[in-house]
């Protein structure tokens, strides 16, 4: 017989969980997941992005999200603003909708939308939310939290990765498997040179690569950057755009680094990894 002990300490206001017997690191897929080879997206190696969750509404894909503690999901404010959370459920540890074995299912007990969220016919501003799960999850090879960036951290000119089960093109259906696509993050200056300039705000960032984008259904999903320490951080939240993979209009993402303090205030009762 053996025992698994949990050890807690605090970083800022969030508890950090060490699970003896399981190497628990945010933003770093398990070494047992061997990496191989959205719109323009490729099939992601199963569980290579183990923080990614699917938020379903009435049994259909509604939004994406990312696990940030054992009981909190980071997503977009517009995913919850006009919809009843009682009609939603969260699938955690999911790879393909064709195999739901070992997938954890939770309902949302509370969704906190940023108090300065606003919306127009074109764009959403301060488009970020933290959803609380009705029961915590246990971290494993297939369920891990994503790392948050440092407050104010910038990612201009970096290559980011979007993941999700959203539509694989305009007028097309959602993907059955998790897809990924690589996009170049534009500087704020380049972003302001686009056709979206009049709608942009400081808490937003743009990214684009020809033929690739996040579509409806990927809303709220994580936009990731791979760091030199071998971990992913969540640079953005898929927020809004005009069309899908339209070269005139880059996709727009909420800057997570703009909201780190706010996120930590919403997750004080959660546990995360080192």
Has residue 251 got a pLDDT over 90?
A: no
List the catalytic residue out of 75, 219, 239, 257.
219
What is the predicted pLDDT for the residue at 22? 65
124 catalytic, yes or no? no
pTM: 0.87
Strands 52-57 and 129-133: unpaired
**Mean pLDDT computed over every residue of the chain:** 84
- pLDDT per position as a tens digit, 105-116: 999 999 999 999
* Contact predicate 249/196, CB 8 Å: yes
What is the predicted pLDDT for the residue at 203? 93
- Among 79-83, 140-144, 165-169, 177-181, which is the least confidently predicted range? 165-169
Apex 240 CA angle, 104 and 247, nearest 5? 120
List the catalytic residue out of 72, 114, 124, 127.
127
Determine which helix (DSSP H) or strand (DSSP E) holds 72, and give its type and residue range.
strand 72-75
Has residue 36 got a pLDDT over 60?
A: no
pLDDT band at 78 (very low <50, low <70, confident <90, very high): very high
Q: Region 252-263: what's the mean pLDDT?
A: 97
Domains, the chain, in order of start with CATH, read 159-257 (2.40.10.10)
List the catalytic residue out of 62, 78, 114, 199.
78
Q: Region 49-60: what's the mean pLDDT?
A: 94
127 catalytic, yes or no? yes
What is the predicted pLDDT for the residue at 8? 45
- Among 3-12, 51-60, 63-72, 251-260, which is the least confidently predicted range? 3-12
What is the predicted pLDDT for the residue at 194? 76
- pLDDT per position as a tens digit, 124-167: 999 999 999 999 999 999 999 999 999 999 999 999 999 988 76
Has residue 31 got a pLDDT over 90?
A: no
47 catalytic, yes or no? no
Cα–Cα distance for residue pair 259/238, rounded to 1 Å? 14
């Amino acid at each position: 017989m053996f025992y698994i002990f949990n050890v807690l300490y605090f970083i800022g206001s969030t508890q950090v969980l060490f699970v003896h017997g399981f190497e628990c690191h945010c933003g770093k897929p398990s070494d047992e997941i061997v990496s191989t080879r959205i719109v323009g997206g490729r099939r992601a190696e199963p569980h290579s992005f183990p923080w990614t969750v699917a938020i379903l509404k009435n049994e259909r894909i509604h939004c994406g999200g990312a696990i940030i503690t054992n009981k909190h999901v980071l997503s977009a404010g517009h995913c919850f603003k006009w919809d009843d959370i009682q009609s939603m459920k969260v699938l955690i540890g999911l790879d393909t909708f064709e195999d739901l074995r070992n997938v954890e299912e939770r309902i949302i007990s509370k969704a906190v939308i940023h108090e300065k969220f606003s919306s127009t016919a074109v764009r959403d501003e301060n488009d970020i939310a933290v959803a609380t799960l009705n029961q915590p999850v246990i971290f494993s090879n297939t369920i891990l939290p994503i790392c948050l960036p440092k407050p104010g951290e910038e990612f201009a000119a970096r290559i980011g990765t979007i993941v999700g089960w959203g539509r694989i093109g305009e007028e097309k259906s959602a993907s059955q498997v998790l897809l990924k696509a690589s996009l170049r993050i534009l500087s704020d200056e380049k972003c302001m040179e686009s056709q979206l300039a009049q709608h942009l705000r400081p808490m937003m960032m743009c990214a684009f690569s020809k033929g690739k984008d996040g579509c409806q259904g990927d809303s709220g999903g994580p936009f990731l950057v791979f760091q030199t320490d071998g971990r992913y951080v969540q640079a953005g939240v898929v927020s809004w755009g005009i069309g899908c993979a339209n070269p005139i209009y880059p996709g727009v993402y909420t800057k997570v680094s703009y909201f780190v303090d706010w996120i930590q205030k919403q997750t004080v009762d959660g546990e995360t990894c080192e």
